[in-house]
Structure 1
C-alpha cells in the first residue's frame, strides 16, 4: 500500500526548503510506498552524515516526543577492525532513524549495564585468548562478580580473531555465555570472524540491524529532527577498500650487510592523496605474493596457472588468484583441516586435535602453506584450492614518521621475512613485497589505520617513556619527531634492544643527534647477542627501576610496542618488579597500580 504524502507542503517544510523545492520534493515522493520512503529516508540521512555542513538558517522545531530506547554498541579492538564494524552497524541503525550509542569498551560506563535494553558487542581476541587492551576493564567487569543481573537485556556478540590460535574468538565466546548467565536473552546467535572477516561480518551485521530495527520500532516515538542542508560530498577517497597507490621514494636497508636480519626503511609519498595521520597510527599495506612462491604452489600441485577459476562471482586465472587475492603464506586451521581430509594424513589430523595445542602452535610458527603441501601430499583441483584459501588481507605497519616533519610522506620500518627452511625459500607476503619495491619506479597500495589507543599525551609537558625493541621502535621515531616539531617540554626516554650493536642498531645516528639536541633525553640499550649473558629491554628497565618509577609517579606516559608473545609480557613483569621494589608495594598492588595507569591511558601498548 502506498503512503500518501500531503498534497501541500507544510509551513515548516516551506521554511526549511523554500516553496519551489518543497513543491519539487512532494512531486518526487508522490506515489512511493512505505518501504521506498524508508529507503529514501535512510539514503538522505547517510548523505547528511558524510557531508560537510553548509551555512544555513537554523530551524529549531519543538520535539514531538522523547527519543526511543537506544541500541547500544560497544567495541573492543587492537587493530581497528572491531571499531570499523561497530561504526558500520551504528550508521545502519541511524540511517533508519533509530537511536543508537557507540562506545569504545574502555569508555563504556559499566554501571549503566543494568539499564540497557538492547546491546551489541563487537570484540576481538588477541593472541591465545586475551582481550584487546582497550577492553580489559570491561571484560573483567562483565566476567567478574560485580556484574549485575540483566534479565531485561537482549544482546548480540560478534567475535573477531585468528583461527591460527587454539582459543579462536575466545573473548567473544566468554562474553556471549556470560550475558546469558546474567539473565539476558540473545538478539541473535554469536558469529566468529576469522582474519578474513568481511564475508561473515557483513551477513551478521545485516541481521543485527534488521532485528534491532524490529525490536526498537514498535516502541519508538517519532522525534522531529531537522538536519541542516548540506552540499553533496563524496566519502573519503582512499580507504582500506579503496587504497591509495603510493610512490616509493626510498627503500634503504638499515641493518649492516653482515646482519642476520634485513630491516628496511621505506619512505612513501602521500602527495595529493589527502591522507592524514597522527603519531601512533598505522599504515595498511595491500601486498602481492612473491612470484617465486606462486610458481612453487603451481608446481607442487601440478596446476595450470592460466586456468580460469570463479569465486564470489569473480573469474580470474589461478595464478592471479594466488598472486593478488589469496593468503598463501600463513597457515590457518580451516585450511589445515581440509588438507588433512584430502591427504589422509594421520599425523596432520593428530596435530589438529584440541589436546595438541602446543604442537599446533609450533606447526603454525615454523611452517608455511607450501611446507604442508609438500609434506602431506594431496590432490587439489584449482577451484577447490581457491575456495579453501583465505583471502589476502592487508598488513599493518606502525608509521615511523611525523607528518609535521616529513610532510606528505609516510615512513615505515620493515623486518623482511626471507629465509630457507626444509630446502625451500620462505617469504613474508608484505615484507618481501615492500623490500623488493624500487624507489622512483614502483608503488604500493596503502591506507591509514588510525590507532586512537596509542597517542602522545595532549599535554606536551608530560614525560614519555618508550619501550620498543627491534622494529617496535618505529612509532617512537614518529613520537620523538612530533615532540621536537611541536616544542614539547616533557622529557623523552627510549628503551631499544636488538641482537647486535654493530649491525642492528636501528636509526643509530638519528638517536644520537636527538640526544645532542635534547629532543631525546635518555636512551637505554640492550643488545642481546653481544655478551655471553643475554640482555633484553626488561633487564634495562629493572636496572633503571628507581628512575623509571620516579618518572611514572611524576605523571609520565608509558608506551610499549613490538612482540606480543614474549616481549610485552616480560616487560610487564619487569614493570611490576619496578613498581613493587621502588614503590614499596606488594606484587598484587603493583599490578593494580599499573592497571590504573592503563585506565588513565598512561600505559599504552601496540603489540602484535
Structure 2
C-alpha cells in the first residue's frame, strides 16, 4: 500500500511537471530568440509601427515599469504618445529630440500601451513626463491609449480625488511634472477632448504642468504651426522652471546605420530557398517574418496582414484630372469582416518617388546595398527590420510623399550641399509666412523641396539615420468597405478616387490611390510604360522577392462602430456625397439581401451628391436595380453641384426638401448616418438636420442642436468622416 502511495505521488508530481512545462513553453523555456526582428510583431499600425526590432536592441531590458525603464536608461524625460495615424508619434519624437539636442535633457519617447501606470506617482521631481495625445473619432482615445486613459480616469481606484484640482502634497500625483499637447480636428463635435480631459484629470490628481496646455487643429490645417508655437513657449517655461541651459542644436543620431558590403534587390530570388536559409535574413519589404519565410498563415491583423488577391478592378468614372476605381479583394475564409468596417491597405511608395528621393540624397547607385543598424540610444524604436536595403526602407517604411514640416527644413540645413542651399533652408525653416507661400500651399514633398533648394545638387551629407529618425513612418491607408458581409463574406470591395494636386512644376500623387490605379492598369493588360492615363505612376506590384505576384496586396480589417441597427426594421437615413457613398452601398445591399430572405426591413432614405449625373455618378446602374428590389422601402435622392451653372446643389439642400420625411423617420427611431468630408459637408449636414427638427417640431434651434448632440451620444447619429 505504501509503495502504491509512493507511485501515486510520483505520478502526480510528473503530471504536475508536465502540465507546468506545457503552459510555460515559449514563456519560460523554448522561447524565440530575442534577436528575432519580428519577435514583437508589427504593433497596431502595421508598416508604420514603432515596434522595436531585435537587431536594434529594442528587446533588451524589456520592462513595463516606468521607473525601472528610466533608471535602466538614465533618462529624465519620457514623452508618451497616443497616436492613431502616426502624427502624434511624430510630434512626440520631435519634442524628445529637441529636448535632448538643444537643452541637454536625457529624453525618450514611448508608446502608451508599452507600460503600466500604477507607479506613475513614484516618479521624482527631477523627472518630466510628456503626453502628446490625439483624439480619435467622436472624442475617443487612440487604440494605443485606451488602457492608460481608462486607468487614469478610474474613480474607483486609489487615484480618485475630489472634483477640484489639488495642490495637496499628499495627492496621488503631487510629485509628477508634465507637459501636454493635444491633436484634434475642430470639425468633430468633441474637438481635442482627450488632450483637454487628460490635462484636467492630471491637475485634479495634483500633478504640476510645465508651460501651457497646447493643442493643434487639423481641421483648420494649422496643426504644424500650432505645435511649433506651443513648443517654443513650452521650452521657455521649461527653462525657467527647471533652470535649463540652451545651446545650439546639433544632430546626435540615436542609431548608427552602416553597410555590410553585400547587395540585394527585390528581384533577387536567391533568398527564396528553405525557410531557414541564411539568405532569408535580409528583409526586402516583407510585412513580417512569416511572409519572409513563406509561412502565410493567420491570425491576420495589423502586424500580420493577409496577402489578398485583387480579383477585380473597374473604373466607375474617368476624366482628365481624376478617376474612381472599384476594387475587390478575394479573402476567402481567411479574413472576417462585418458590414461597415474599414479595410486597411498596407502600401508602398511609387517607383518615381523612390527614385527621386534616393537621387536627391545621393543613394540611388547604392540603393540595393544591404545595411545594418547598431543602437546608440537603447530606447530608440525604429519602424523597420534589419538587415535590409536603402531602397526597401524608402519604398516601404518612410512617408516621403507627405507634407514637409518647417522644423525639418531648419534641422536639415546644416547638411546642405552648398551655402546658398543652407541659407534658403534656414530662411524657410524660420519664416512661417515664407514657408506657407513657397512650400506648404504647393503640397511639396521633401525630395522636391531639397532639389529646388540646391538647384538639383544631391544632399549627400545628410546621414541616412537623420532621415529615418526625422521622417514620419509610412502607415496603412483606411477605406470604408463598400460590400456587405451578409451578401458575400469572401469578398471585400472598396471605392477610391484617384486625384492629383496640381503644383507649379509637378502634380502630387496620392500614394494608395495611385497604387490601386497601377494595379488596375496592369490587370487590364496595359503596358504601364505605354499608359496614357495622366494619373498613372508605377509601383513594385510583384512585391519583395515576387511574393505579391503582381496581383496581391497586404490588408487587414479595422473594426468600426459605423454599423446598421441590430433591428432591421429600424429606418435609416444616409448622407454620402462622392465616395462617401461607399459604406451605404454596403448598407443597402445588406438590407436588400435581408428583404430577399423574407425579413421585414425598415425604410431607407439615401442622399447622394456628385458633380454631374453623366460624369461621376458612381454605381449608377446598380442603384436602379436596388430601387427595383426594395420598392417603396428605398428612396435615393440625388444632388448635382455642376449641372446648374448658377446654383450649386448639395446634399444639405436636398435634405431641406425632404424635411417632413426626415423628421417623420427620426420620430420612428431612424438611425442617421453621414460619410465623407469632415471639414465642411459633415458640419453643414448636422446644422441642416438641427434646423429641420427645429422647424418640423416647433422647438428653438438651440434645443434642436442639443437633440442632435444627444443622438450622437446615443450612437443614433453616426459619422464616418475624414
TM-score for the superposition, normalised by structure 2: 0.56
What do the CA deviations read for 1:245-269 (whole angstroms, capped 9, x no partner)?
01110111101x4464211000011
- SS of match in other structure, 1:264: strand
Counterpart among 697, 703, 707 of residue 589 in structure 1: 703
Q: Which residue of 2 aligns with 1:510?
A: 622
8 Å CA contact 1:331–1:364 kept in 2: the answer is no
- Is the 2:307–2:553 contact (alpha carbons within 8 Å) kept by the matching residues of 1? yes
Over 3 Å counting, the alpha-carbon distance change for 1:580 and 1:348 in structure 2 is farther
SS at match of 1:518: helix
Equivalent of 2:553 in 444, 452, 461? 444
1:179 aligns with 201
Change over 3 Å in CA distance of 1:374–1:496 after alignment to 2: farther
Structure 1 unmatched ranges of 5 or more: 1-13, 40-74, 83-87, 99-119, 196-233
CA shift for structure 1 position 124? 2.5
1:510 Cα shift? 1.2
2: distance between equivalents of 1:463 and 1:358?
50
The equivalent residue for 1:338 is 411
CA contact (8 A) 2:439 2:449 kept: no
Per-residue Cα deviation, 1:314-367 (whole angstroms, up to 9, x for no partner): 24332222212211111153544534665545687567667x699489916733
Q: Which residue of 2 aligns with 1:329?
A: 401
Which residues in structure 2 correspond to 1:62-461 (within 5 Å)? 124-125=134-135, 132-134=138-140, 148-149=163-164, 151=166, 154=173, 161=183, 171-185=193-207, 237-255=299-317, 257-258=318-319, 260-273=321-334, 275-307=335-367, 308=369, 309-310=371-372, 312=382, 314-333=386-405, 335-339=408-412, 343-344=421-422, 359=436, 363=440, 366-377=443-454, 379=459, 381=462, 383=464, 384-418=466-500, 420-437=502-519, 438-439=522-523, 441-452=550-561, 454-461=562-569
Decide whether aligned partners of structure 1 residues 509 and 153 sit closer, same or farther in structure 2, where only a CA change above 3 A counts: farther
Taking the aligned partners of 1:373 and 1:542, their CA distance within structure 2 comes to 50
1:238 and 1:464 map into 2 onto residues whose CA distance is: 32
Q: CA deviation at 1:172?
A: 4.4
Q: 1:491 matched to which residue of 2?
A: 603
CA gap of 1:547–1:248, structure 2 versus 1, over 3 A, is same
* Deviations, residues 397-436 of structure 1 (Å, cap 9, x unaligned): 0111012212311001011134553332421111111121
Partner of 1:524: 637
CA distance in 2 between partners of 1:252 and 1:414 (Å): 11
Q: Is the 8 A contact 1:259 1:504 kept in 2?
A: no
Question: Normalising by structure 1, what TM-score?
Answer: 0.66
1:606 and 1:78 mapped to 2: Cα distance?
15
- Whether 1:21 and 2:11 are equivalent positions in the alignment is no
Which stretch of structure 1 is more off in the superposition, 173-182 or 576-585? 173-182
Give the Cα separation in 1 of the matches to 2:620 and 2:21. Answer: 70
Between Structure 1 and Structure 2, how many residues are aligned? Answer: 469
- In 2, the alpha carbon distance for the partners of 1:92 and 1:135 equals 16
Separation in 2 of the partners of 1:543 and 1:345?
58
Root mean square deviation, CA, Å: 4.7
Q: Is the 8 A contact 2:332 2:490 kept in 1?
A: yes
Note if 1:561 corresponds to 2:675: yes
